[in-house]
Structure 1
Amino acid sequence: MDHSNTPNTYKLPESYGETKIVLVARDPNCLFAYWEISGIETRRFIDELGIEFWQKSSPALKVKNLSNGSNFIIVINDYANNWYIHVDNINSFYEVEYGRKISERFFIPIVSSNYVLTPSNSVSSSASCYFMDYRNFSKSGLEKESRYIYEMLDMESYYKNIGISSMEFAFNSKFEQCFGISSLELFGKE
């Protein structure tokens, strides 16, 4: 019997050989980024720009507030693979680029992250709740006839489990706030 993949002996790899950066909004004023820069990407940088640029530059994160067009750079070290980033603007879209800072004015990006929206730091002024009919939910998503959302203005309605938290419908212009499904009821638990 092969025990090499049992929970007690399996070890996660230190790297996956990918060039990737992922950004997550931890709270209204803090983002978290983690990344991996492959050796191939490092060699490509050196081949295209020269070893001098690599040696004279510093690894850095360029934090871009896409909502107001501002940005700032955080100089990091060569050993870091994640970073907590303090931001001042709530309800703003952010993106982070990992790259090399050549001088005070020059930054060369290597990889860009996904976009994230920092949440609000206060209670919502909207008392609306949105409910979705998920009885026709399948592996491919909601059936066409079930893709409508019920708006319930009464917070103390007979619906006790909101069950809505995904960004699936976030860009539907009909609703100010639209969410997908995450209720335990989907999994047969009531």
Structure 2
Amino acid sequence: MTWEELQAFLSQNPTIQEAKSLAKKIGLRVKKRMKKTEILKLLEEFAKSLKTETKVSQEQAMISQPLKPSELPESYGSDRIVLLPINPHLVFVCWDLSKETYSKLSSQPEVVLRLYDVTYINFDGTNAHRIFEAGVHLATTRNYYFHVPSSNADYLAELGFKVEGKFFPLLRSNAAHTPSDTPSSSVRQRWFTKGKYTVKVGEPLLKPIERIYTSSYMESGRR
């Protein structure tokens, strides 16, 4: 008998004969002079033990079964493009499109991903230092890597399409800063000790002396 079946039996307010018969059937020890309330209490305690055993067995079954990894959806249906720096000369662009935007781009003859160098400028769509461009196949591509020539620079991406050589952007990413590819010349030392943040200035780095070689024509002209 399950815990649910025993609870259903007790909820029907059985007679003493019915309660005694069931108690003996499930193996409980019933004395001859036991009252109905005592027999019902005996059955209720047995029901509690059944409920505990059922809960434990269910938990053990869940533990024994390996968890199946959830599959990520191919698209979240949101219009978003994100730019991330990978190293000083590599950035990563990924995007997600709604059904409307995907349909609009798919109908265009030329889908284009652009990367702009926007270091130290307020970008208005036309004033980038340099523009890098790549064709995109929406059916097979949701991300792209750009190798960039300048480190320690700010970049921004746009996804759009071209018509007769003119670019029409639909999505614009965040601006991302690539790290420097040379050691910093700063002598500031940042310390976090015992819950306090301090900045110390160290000794300046000694730079090597470089010799400039002039031509013999310039040397003779100075005499």
Give yes or no for the alignment of 1:81 onto 2:142. Answer: yes
Give yes or no for the alignment of 1:153 onto 2:204. Answer: no
Structure-2 residue corresponding to 1:109? 169
- Displacement after TM superposition at 1:152 (Å): 2.2
Residue 131 and residue 70 in structure 1: after superposition, are their counterparts in 2 closer, same or farther (change >3 A)? same
- Displacement after TM superposition at 1:93 (Å): 0.6
Structure-1 residue corresponding to 2:28? none
Structure-2 residue corresponding to 1:140? none
TM-score by length of 2: 0.52
Match of 2:115 among 35, 58, 63: 63
CA distance in 1 between partners of 2:136 and 2:190 (Å):
43
- Displacement after TM superposition at 1:55 (Å): 3.7
TM-score by length of 1: 0.60
- The letter of the residue matching 1:65 is D
Structure 2: stretches of 5+ with no match in the other structure: 1-57, 120-127, 204-223
Task: State how many pairs are aligned.
Answer: 132
- Displacement after TM superposition at 1:102 (Å): 2.4
Question: Cα RMSD (Å) of the superposition?
Answer: 2.7
CA distance in 1 between partners of 2:101 and 2:194 (Å):
44
More strand by share: 1
Structure 1: stretches of 5+ with no match in the other structure: 47-53, 136-145, 156-190
Structure-1 residue corresponding to 2:188? 128
Among all aligned residue pairs of Structure 1 and Structure 2, give the percentage whose two residues are the same amino acid. 26
Structure-2 residue corresponding to 1:90? 151
- Displacement after TM superposition at 1:41 (Å): 2.2
Provide Cα deviations, 1:113-144, integer angstroms capped at 9, x if missing partner: 11111111111112322235784xxxxxxxxx
Give yes or no for the alignment of 1:36 onto 2:108. Answer: no
